Amino acid sequence: MSYEIATIPGDGIGPEVVDATLPLFERVADSHGIDVEFTRYGWGSERYLEEGAMMPDDGLDRIEDSDAILLGAVGHPDVPDHVTLHGLLLPIRKRFNQQVCKRPSILFEGVESPLRGYEGGDVEFVVYRENTEGEYADVGGREHVGFDHEVAVQSAVFTRQGTEAILRAAFEAAQEREGHLTSITKSNAQAYSMVFWDDVVEEMHQDYPDVEVESLLVDAASMDFIRRPEEFDVVVASNLFGDILTDIGAIVTGSMGLAPSGNVNRSGEYPSMFEPVHGSAPDIAGQGVANPTATVLSGAMLFEEIGEDGASETLWNAVRDVLADESAPTPPDLGGSASTDEMIEALGERV
């Protein structure tokens, strides 16, 4: 099979981890007899600073026919975040109807959790994050800017279709995994959207009677991600809650540098996008020390999504091997001093 992957390295450590990782993906593809072309798009904040836009007007049309999208990270210290993110990342998720965001949190053998008493294998859950609406709906406005009576409104939008889509994906995942689903809301304070969410969970549960459903408020869930992360299997949450919880999930399982994600278009009508959970990390950008593992695993998720399970497995196994091997290089975020390239080299030896 042959595939075309639209590749958007983006900003900061985005291009560092993507450029380092592409040769590894090409090698894995070759070894599995897959013909993959990564088409690079130099979109991002540098382009914004030079040309006034993160991507060309027809940017999304250009990548619409690709088989999948690989993205590094977006965000630049010299450009406001809402400009860069609303100019590139968020429009891709929305326009390509990537309603389901899958974010696994796995404590790998050989990785130290900041939580006392946890070892590799103890934590393995996946967060299903609603990805195109909720608190991220572009609905609202500001008026009387600069005056005492200035007003800002940011509305959260929960549609039945969107809520059912993310819940169905999460219920299905729970059925395939350990049969346990945790739904996260804030229904005690947000009596419309979140109570609606709870109602849809209850309705949909009828279709998946074998799945055990637990409901948690997001504040308590944040605590439990730290107190008892081993008890989660599939977690489902709205856009904003899912965003916050997946940074907690990443750090309790070792590092932002290990956490992959997939923004999935379930109908197949548009491409899905794969990217690390982390951002452009301006604090370490340019030093060549970003951990590329989150990008490697995002690639593993990408290969699985396009139906190339063998290539996906090879990448997952290479990561597991390197992390478990005490003599293999360890990057600074995991307590060592290995560079991005040294990590890729070690992974390359195992594919």
Catalytic residues: 136, 186, 219, 243, 247
- What are phi and psi for residue 197, nearest 5 degrees? -55, -50
**Closer residue to ligand IPM in complex, CB, 253/339:** 253
Q: Residue 233, interface with ligand IPM (CB under 6 A)? A: no
**Closer residue to ligand NAD in complex, CB, 283/326:** 283
**Closer residue to Mn ion in complex, CB, 271/276:** 276
CA-based diameter of the chain, in Å?
65
Q: Residue 85, interface with ligand IPM (CB under 6 A)? A: yes
Cα 321 off chain centre by: 22
Binding mask 86-125 for ligand IPM (x = CB under 6 A): ---x------------------------------------
Q: How far apart are CA 183 and CA 187, in angstroms?
A: 11
Taking CA atoms, 198 is separated from 1, 157, 180, 220, 274, in Å, by 42, 15, 16, 16, 29
Residue 89 C-beta: closest distance to ligand IPM, Å: 6
The option from Mn ion, ligand NAD, ligand IPM, none interacting with 280 (CB < 5 to 8 A, set by class) reads ligand NAD
**Closer residue to Mn ion in complex, CB, 290/328:** 290
User: Which residues touch 98 (CB under 8 Å, ≥6 apart)?
Assistant: 92, 131, 132, 263, 264, 265, 270, 272, 273
* Among residues 243, 275, 308, 342, the one that binds Mn ion under rule CB under 5 A: 243
Q: Write down the H helix ranges in the chain.
A: 13-31, 45-51, 59-63, 81-84, 90-95, 160-176, 193-205, 218-227, 239-252, 293-305, 309-324, 340-348
Residue 20 C-beta: closest distance to ligand NAD, Å: 11
Residue 14 C-beta: closest distance to ligand NAD, Å: 7
**Closer residue to ligand NAD in complex, CB, 112/309:** 112
* Among residues 107, 234, 277, 334, the one that binds ligand IPM under rule CB under 6 A: 277
Binding site for ligand NAD (CB under 6 A): 13, 17, 73-75, 81, 85, 89, 256-257, 275, 278-284, 290-291, 294, 333
> Between 293-305 and 340-348, two packed helices, what is the crossing angle to 10 degrees?
50
- What are phi and psi for residue 64, nearest 5 degrees? -60, -35
| Torsion region of 258: left, alpha or beta (phi above 0 gives left; psi -120 to 50 gives alpha) | alpha
Residue 30 C-beta: closest distance to ligand NAD, Å: 25
The option from ligand NAD, ligand IPM, Mn ion, none interacting with 278 (CB < 5 to 8 A, set by class) reads ligand NAD
- Tell me how many degrees the CA angle 139-142-143 measures, rounded to the nearest 5: 135
- Which parts of this chain interact with ligand IPM (CB under 6 A)? 85, 89, 243, 277, 279
- Which parts of this chain interact with Mn ion (CB under 5 A)? 243
